[in-house]
Structure 1
Amino acid sequence: MDMTVIAWGTELTTTNGSDQHYTENIILDVLTVIVALVGLAGNAVVLWLLGFRMHRNTFSVYILNVTGADFVFLYYRFIHTLVLLFDFNFVLRIMNRFILPVSIFAYFSGLSFLSAISTERCMSVLWPMWYRCHHPRHLSAVMCALLWALFLLMSMLEGDYSGFLSTNVHHVWCPVLDFITVAWLILLFVLLSGSSLALMSRLLCGSHRMPPTRLYMTVMLTVLVFLLCSLPFGIHWFLLFWFEKYFYDLSHFYQFVVPLSCVNSCANPIIYFFIGSFRQRWWKRRHTLRLLLQRALQDTPEVDEPGESLPGETLEMSGSRPG
């Protein structure tokens, strides 16, 4: 079963469905466009700040790559939904054949980076001495580069099997690629859930619990929003793989999970700036977006005065090295 072809059929079913769902589809598409547009602006700001205006370290490298994956996903959803609204079916065919695989694996890339953040953060809390002594200096950058290369390769193969290069092994390798994708989705969900629960129990329970830092709150809120809003998108692909005979029933589920996944990608920049501005005295000090983002990635305990927790213009996280 080719997941790209199924997604294309899902979109056409949603667009050309019965009249009673037409108004509902239009409303959902308009909401998707608005959310995607807001998310693109927010993620562009975070990309600019983390890429060119701030010192990067272990966890900010992961955040930078999560933001990049969110930007790619929202860009595709924005263009794709506009095409649906104006009923350009010939453009829709081209987009689903060549661009849809990139957006799907941008979703898996974001999930992979988020799982890596949660896992590495869990290791730094559970085994702090081992983490400081044995953590490779550029592990986060190397890990992100390998994940991007992996998903770029998978998107190229998916586009190949959708007819881009018209290979002769389509019917042989397409089910294998779909199975690998579903297995990877399950593995990432297990890693994300297990590391998040372990981190939460370590910081909030027991006699040796530690006070949560802003970085901890940023990671946990990002994971929570993902589980609530973006995980149904992955579940949809999982159900398509195992229950192909219920394709037309699942197509109605698809029109709701797409706006939810866009809400997740749009909410991440809001979470960063909200955590950075939380409990700050705005009337005493002017806060720039860069300073708010630095505060959101702060891994040091809170102090009474807002300005004392950020020495200088750069933040070094305790237990991490520049990546």
Structure 2
Amino acid sequence: MSTSVLQWNLFLLVSSRKEFFYMDIELPASLKLTLSIVNSIPIIISMFGFLGNGKVIHLLGFHIEKNPFTTCTLNLSIADFGVFTSFLHTIGYIDQVDTIVYIYLLVTYFFLFMYNTGQYLLTAISMERCVSVIFPLWHRCHRPPHFSTLVCATIWITSFLLTVICIIIVIFRVTTKPLFYLLLMNAILCLPLMTVSTLVLFIKVCFRSQQRNKGKALTAILLALLFFLFLAFPFTFYVSYCYYFPHLHSLMLIGFGCSSVNSSINPIIYFLVGRRGRKSPSRVSMRAAISRVFKDVGDCTEDKKSRTESKVMI
């Protein structure tokens, strides 16, 4: 998106020139008009993302029974919600660029924090589902009861610390490429894990012959992974490419646009997968659809509890 390109230019300038903080930036009127027109598209996408992820957060937080899958998905929706917060905040201040350089930098790093958190959470979700598919008995019997909460807390803390380290590096001018190195590290760590998990879940979803009603959670995760691989990971590539070819701003437009679409697609996936299989899908509410998506994970948890209770009785 164009506002994000402006953020990118500010980030590069501040990373390389300390005196930029004391400079006045004045955009031409024609450029401001162009930015305002182009920004109408991301505003619409961001509003849909706000509403969709906000609804998912409300349902998973207050109306749907908790299980390990809902805990991770709730945190993922919060991260996506934060991505749209940074988008809308940037768009709202586009006419005041000459006075709020610091705000733009803070919004840039807030976006980075939320984007990385969502990426780590989706990687953790995919790995856990992959383990549950390959080793179902071990996963049911030996998985710690509060493992999802611990993983989510660790991911939030790790992502926050990495963002703080990037800010410190920029302030002390240790290197002009902290964002590049962070995104490169994310790609090296997360891309192989996501790819393997996607292949395993794809095989499981496509070749399962039984338990058709039990595969909604796997289908939702598989679709979320596919969209992330095709929409969000190009953002990492475009950012890395623009470090060496900063004049190619169109790549940044594509990268931030894809990231915006990816953050708004998950609620749609949950709704469409949840309503599938109903005789009257048009009458299915979002609450009922999302409940069906997460029900099979809840059933696994209930099976584990019932087995434990039966062992105690014996």
Give the TM-score range, shorter chain.
Answer: 0.7 to 0.9
Q: Name the amino acid aligned to 2:233.
A: L
Q: Does the 8 Å contact 2:90/2:107 carry over to 1?
A: no
What are the equivalent positions in structure 2 for 1:132-147 lying under 5 Å apart? Answer: 132-147=140-155
Deviations 1:92-124 (A, max 9, x none): 512232221121121111111111111110110
Give the drift of 1:24.
6.6
Matches for 1:45-64 after TM superposition, within 5 Å? 45-64=55-74
Unpaired runs of 5+ residues, structure 2, are: 14-25, 306-314
**In structure 2, what is the equivalent of residue 305 of structure 1?**
none
Superposed, 1:58-77 pairs within 5 Å as 58-77=68-87
The answer to whether the 8 Å contact 1:98/1:159 transfers is: no
Corresponding residue for 1:266? 264
Q: Which has the higher contact order (CA 8 A, sep 6+)?
A: 1
With over 3 angstroms needed to count, the CA separation of the structure-2 counterparts of 1:5 and 1:160, relative to structure 1, is: farther
> 1:245 aligns to what?
244
Tell me the CA shift for residue 280 of structure 1: 1.5
Answer yes or no: is the 8 Å Cα contact 1:40–1:71 preserved in 2. Answer: yes
* Structure 1: unaligned runs, 5 residues or longer: 164-169, 301-314
Q: Cα offset for 1:49?
A: 0.9
Quote the RMSD (CA, aligned, Å): 3.3
Aligned to 1:289: 286
The structure in which a higher percent of residues are helix is: 2
Q: Which amino acid aligns with 2:130?
A: C
State the Cα distance separating 1:199 from its structure 2 match.
2.2
Structure 1 position 106 matched with structure 2 position 114: yes
* Inter-CA distance 130–173: structure 2 relative to 1 (3 Å threshold): farther
In the superposition, the TM-score normalised over structure 2's length comes to 0.79
How many residues in Structure 1 have an aligned counterpart in Structure 2?
Answer: 288
In structure 2, relative to structure 1, the CA distance for the partners of 1:68 and 1:123 (3 Å cut) is same
Matched, 1:157 2:162: no
> Does the Cα contact within 8 Å between 1:33 and 1:82 map onto a contact in 2?
no
Distance 1:255 1:180 in 2: 20
1:145-184 aligned at under 5 Å gives the runs: 145-163=153-171, 170-172=172-174, 178-184=180-186
CA 65–116 in structure 1, closer or farther in 2 if over 3 Å, else same: same
Retained in 1: the 8 A contact 2:49–2:81?
yes
Structure 1 residue 79: deviation in Å?
1.6
Identity of aligned residues (%): 25
C-alpha separation in 2, matches of 1:72 and 1:39: 10
Please show how residues 32-43 of structure 1 align to structure 2 within 5 Å: 32-43=42-53
**Once the two structures are superposed, what CA deviation does each residue of 1:218-263 show, in whole Å capped at 9, x if it has no partner?**
11111122122222212223334xxx331112x2211122122111
Q: Deviation of residue 23 (structure 1)? A: 7.5
